[in-house]
Structures are given as structure tokens and as C-alpha cells.
Amino acid sequence: MTENTGVRLGAAPGSRGRTTIADVVVEKIAGMAARDVRGVYALGSGFARSMGSMRERMPGAGGGKSATRGVSVEVGELQAAIDLELVVDYGVSITDVAAAVRENVISAVERMAGREVVEVNIMVSDVKLPDEEDEGEERQRIQ
């Protein structure tokens, strides 16, 4: 007696199963693609960056910058919508940076995750001024 599993012999391997992509995967792809654009200083609001900077200094808290800070997504079976919060460098055209971020994020998510990106919403929450200290250059008060 044989069991009919519904799989046809000779069917293409791509049709033999289902691939699910977690939201965090698309968040990381979008975050990395946005950071690659010239003129993007950081992702996330000032508060989120400050908390992340403190968290990075704590032993065992997971070193490195969070790839998903400033990124939120909604991912469906075929489509994705992405919201980004950016800090841009002073002196760059914000509209040009936003357009380049949109293009880079859409390209990366569609290529890597195979989801049609229906929208990329960008909120610029701050501008990095040349005379401001970088988070990485802040002096620790307690040693």
C-alpha cells in the first residue's frame, strides 16, 4: 500500500515546500541597505541610539550596533512595507538621501527576500552636525 503525499514525481524542487521569512530578516536587510547610503549618519531616534549605545557597553548584552534600530516592517506572503527613521549628515540633500535609501532598500529586500516592497516610509528625525561628538567618542564618566 502506498501513501499519496501530493508530491508529483518530476515536480520542480521550488514547488516542494514553503519558505517563510521572519520580519526580523527583512528588518536587518532594510537596515543594512539604508546604512549603505552616503549621507545616512545613523538609524533610529536620538533616544534609541543613546539606549543602544549604553546597551552595547554592557558585558553580555550583545555587542555591536543593532541592525534593526530605526527599522520596522510588515511582511506578508508576497509583499513588505518598511518604515525607517534616519539621522542624516549635515549638508546633504535630505530628499536625495531619502530617494537613494528608498531605491537601495527596495532593491535589497526584493532581491534577497523575494518580497515586493509596496512602500518605504522615511522619517528624518535628526541631522548630525559636524561639531557634535560621535556616540563612539563619548567619554565614559565611570571607569
- Span 16-20, average pLDDT: 85
- Span 130-139, average pLDDT: 62
What is the reported pLDDT for 7? Answer: 58
What is the reported pLDDT for 134? Answer: 61
What would the DSSP string read from start to end of 51-110?
Answer: HHHHHHHSTTS--S--TTTTEEEEE-SSEEEEEEEEEEETTS-HHHHHHHHHHHHHHHHH
Instruction: Determine the Cα angle at 102 with ends 99 and 108, to 5°.
Output: 140
**Taking a C-beta distance cutoff of 8 angstroms, is the pair 125, 101 a contact?**
no
pLDDT, tens only, 38-65: 999 999 986 544 445 544 555 555 544 5
pLDDT, tens only, 71-120: 999 999 899 999 999 999 999 999 999 999 999 999 999 999 999 999 99
Lowest mean pLDDT among 8-12, 51-55, 68-72: 51-55
- How many Å apart are CA 74 and CA 81, to the nearest integer? 5
What is the reported pLDDT for 114? Answer: 94
What is the reported pLDDT for 131? Answer: 86
pTM for the structure as a whole: 0.74
Q: Answer yes or no: is pLDDT of 136 > 60.
A: no
Q: Answer yes or no: is pLDDT of 33 > 80.
A: yes
